[in-house]
């Protein structure tokens, strides 16, 4: 295995990563950095947690930092496109910490916040711009961004862009970039739409594929609790009070409403927590994330979209308060713990409506999950199945009426006859 010292990175970058405590490159860094330093295009099949941010940022900073050129107003030298605001902010934070000793300018642009600050940064010209597609297009359409000096384009989490419906926006951005540039595309999976995009975008790329999280989740102790839906809040409180070695806990719910409700239960029990989901303002999300990261509160409740890219090193436990619809999401969620080689615990709740999701997860990870019966709200599988089985419907009032009508088969006929008689009488009067 190579060491960082063997890589041709600027000395100030090496110093910065040593300060961050990185001793040796992760596999994706080891396999991609030497090629990227030579200016090659790259297709990286890797997800968050593998060290991919440093894999693309370190050679980028080295390349831009080793030249004396400074970007002209509204020009950007490198563009990093990523699907969520959280990821964009985290990439920028990483870049700033890796480029500490260098005079590189960087900024993030994403929606949900005012334009003014972003426009001000763009007006000065930027070495590195990190953006989500919607706001970037807005600013491009208004003429605030020029790509004449663009050297590097990085498309991060391409498959997530596809899932979130951003692919068309991404293509619109790409159309306006100069042909000559170094291009990197990262994606955790390679669905058809992304293969097509990679083929049209990359020139003779180096392909690096790192072990998917599915393999690395081996380090995570996983268990499941069978529980009636109504008992989930109590089970959560029970676990938070009884579980050993809890440092910080990321709780996933399926819906924003569910996230708010879980927060309410915890606050009522006097447990301070943060929450992030799509209805929270950017400011509130950042505050919650920062509070969690700094240890101000040890619990963060999140929905899946909002959780993309949550990069907090010390998550000791992930709790799936609800099981996800897509079993792949289960793997992404629990991968938030056991980051950068650590171990972690993943606890999932499964109520009567989630038994089929539980089966899908087991199928997907090709592993039987350990059902923990040693908790006060344990409900066996059969009872849950019975609870979920639809009960035979009670005859409604209308049905009852219909049934009684059917019991008197001549009823309809007699009422028709009555009507006819009345009509005839009326007609007779008129005549």
Q: How far apart are CA 386 and CA 390, in angstroms?
A: 8
Q: What is the CA radius of gyration of the chain?
A: 29
Among 13, 54, 319, 334, binds ligand AMP (CB under 6 A): 54
Q: Which is nearer to ligand AMP, 52 or 77 (CB)?
A: 52
Question: Do residues 87 and 155 make contact, with C-beta atoms less than 8 angstroms apart?
Answer: no
User: What six digits make up the tokens of 153?
Assistant: 């384009």
Environment class of 103 (CB within 10 Å of its CB; exposed 0-12, middle 13-18, buried 19+): exposed
Q: Which is nearer to ligand AMP, 54 or 226 (CB)?
A: 54
Q: How far apart are CA 189 and CA 183, in angstroms?
A: 18
Least separation in angstroms between CB 23 and ligand AMP: 7
Residue nearest to ligand AMP (CB): 53
Query: Strand (E) positions, 125-282?
Result: 126-131, 152-155, 182-187, 206-209, 220-226, 249-252, 273-276
Decide: is 48 part of the binding site for ligand AMP (CB under 6 A): yes
User: What six digits make up the tokens of 378?
Assistant: 């344990």
Decide: is 18 part of the binding site for ligand AMP (CB under 6 A): no
Q: Outline where 219-281 has alpha helix (H).
A: 232-242, 256-268
Least separation in angstroms between CB 26 and ligand AMP: 5
Q: How far apart are CA 161 and CA 58, in angstroms?
A: 23
Q: Which is nearer to ligand AMP, 2 or 195 (CB)?
A: 2
Q: How far apart are CA 128 and CA 105, in angstroms?
A: 6
Site track for ligand AMP across 101-120, x = CB under 6 A: --------------------
Q: Which is nearer to ligand AMP, 29 or 360 (CB)?
A: 29
DSSP at 409: T
Decide: is 337 part of the binding site for ligand AMP (CB under 6 A): no
Instruction: Give the Å distances, CA to CA, from 148 to 110, 120, 224, 263, 306.
Output: 22, 19, 54, 48, 34
Return the range that interacts with ligand AMP (CB under 6 A); candidates 24-32, 126-134, 233-241, 256-264: 24-32
Among 25, 71, 83, 258, binds ligand AMP (CB under 6 A): 25
Least separation in angstroms between CB 339 and ligand AMP: 5
Decide: is 49 part of the binding site for ligand AMP (CB under 6 A): yes
Least separation in angstroms between CB 129 and ligand AMP: 18
Return the range that interacts with ligand AMP (CB under 6 A); candidates 20-28, 31-39, 276-284, 398-406: 20-28
Least separation in angstroms between CB 296 and ligand AMP: 19
DSSP at 402: H
Q: How far apart are CA 71 and CA 79, in angstroms?
A: 13
Residues 338-397 that bind ligand AMP (CB under 6 A): 339-340
Q: How many residues bind ligand AMP (CB under 6 A)?
A: 15
Please list the residues that pair with 106 across neighbouring strands: 128
Q: Which is nearer to ligand AMP, 16 or 384 (CB)?
A: 16
Please tell me whether residue 370 adopts helix, strand or coil conformation: strand
Decide: is 132 part of the binding site for ligand AMP (CB under 6 A): no
Q: Which is nearer to ligand AMP, 31 or 352 (CB)?
A: 31
Q: Using CB under 6 A as the criterion, which residues of the chain lie in contact with ligand AMP when the complex forms? A: 22, 25-26, 29, 48-54, 311, 313, 339-340
């Amino acid at each position: 295995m190579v060491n960082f010292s063997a890589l041709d990175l600027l000395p100030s970058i090496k110093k910065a990563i040593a300060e961050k405590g990185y001793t040796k490159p992760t596999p994706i860094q080891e396999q991609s950095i030497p090629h990227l330093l030579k200016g090659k295009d790259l297709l990286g099949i890797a997800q968050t947690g593998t060290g991919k941010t440093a894999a693309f940022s370190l050679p980028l900073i080295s390349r831009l930092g080793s030249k004396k050129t400074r970007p002209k107003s509204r020009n950007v030298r490198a563009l990093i496109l990523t699907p969520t605001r959280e990821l964009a902010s985290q990439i920028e934070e990483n870049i700033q910490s890796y480029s500490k000793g260098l005079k590189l300018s960087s900024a993030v642009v994403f929606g949900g916040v005012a334009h003014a600050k972003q426009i001000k940064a763009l007006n000065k010209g930027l070495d590195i711009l990190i953006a989500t597609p919607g706001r970037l297009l807005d600013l491009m359409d208004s003429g605030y961004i020029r790509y004449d000096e663009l050297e590097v384009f990085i498309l991060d989490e391409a498959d997530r862009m596809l899932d979130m419906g951003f692919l068309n926006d991404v293509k619109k951005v790409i159309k306006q970039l100069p042909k000559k540039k170094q291009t990197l595309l990262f994606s955790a999976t390679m669905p058809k739409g992304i293969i097509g995009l990679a083929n049209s975008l990359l020139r003779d790329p180096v392909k690096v594929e790192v072990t998917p999280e599915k393999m690395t989740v081996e380090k995570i102790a996983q268990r499941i609790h069978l529980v009636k839906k109504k008992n989930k809040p109590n089970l959560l409180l029970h676990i938070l009070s009884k579980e050993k070695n809890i440092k910080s806990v990321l709780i996933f719910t399926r819906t924003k409403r569910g996230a708010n409700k879980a927060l309410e239960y915890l606050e009522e029990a006097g447990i301070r927590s943060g929450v992030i989901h799509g209805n929270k303002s950017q400011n509130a999300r950042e505050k919650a994330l920062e509070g969690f990261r700094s240890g101000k509160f040890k619990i963060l409740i999140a929905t899946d979209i909002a959780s993309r890219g949550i990069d907090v090193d010390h998550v000791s436990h992930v709790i799936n308060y609800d099981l996800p619809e897509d079993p792949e999401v289960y793997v992404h969620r629990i991968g938030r713990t056991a980051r950068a080689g650590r171990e972690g615990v993943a606890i999932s709740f499964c109520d009567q409506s989630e038994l089929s999701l539980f089966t899908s997860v087991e199928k997907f990870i090709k592993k039987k999950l350990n059902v923990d019966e040693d908790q006060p709200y344990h409900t066996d599988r059969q009872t849950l199945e019975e609870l979920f089985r639809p009960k035979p419907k009670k005859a409604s009032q209308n049905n009852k009426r219909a049934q009684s009508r059917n019991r008197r088969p001549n009823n309809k006929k007699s009422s028709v006859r009555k009507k006819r008689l009345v009509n005839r009488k009326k007609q007779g009067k008129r005549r």
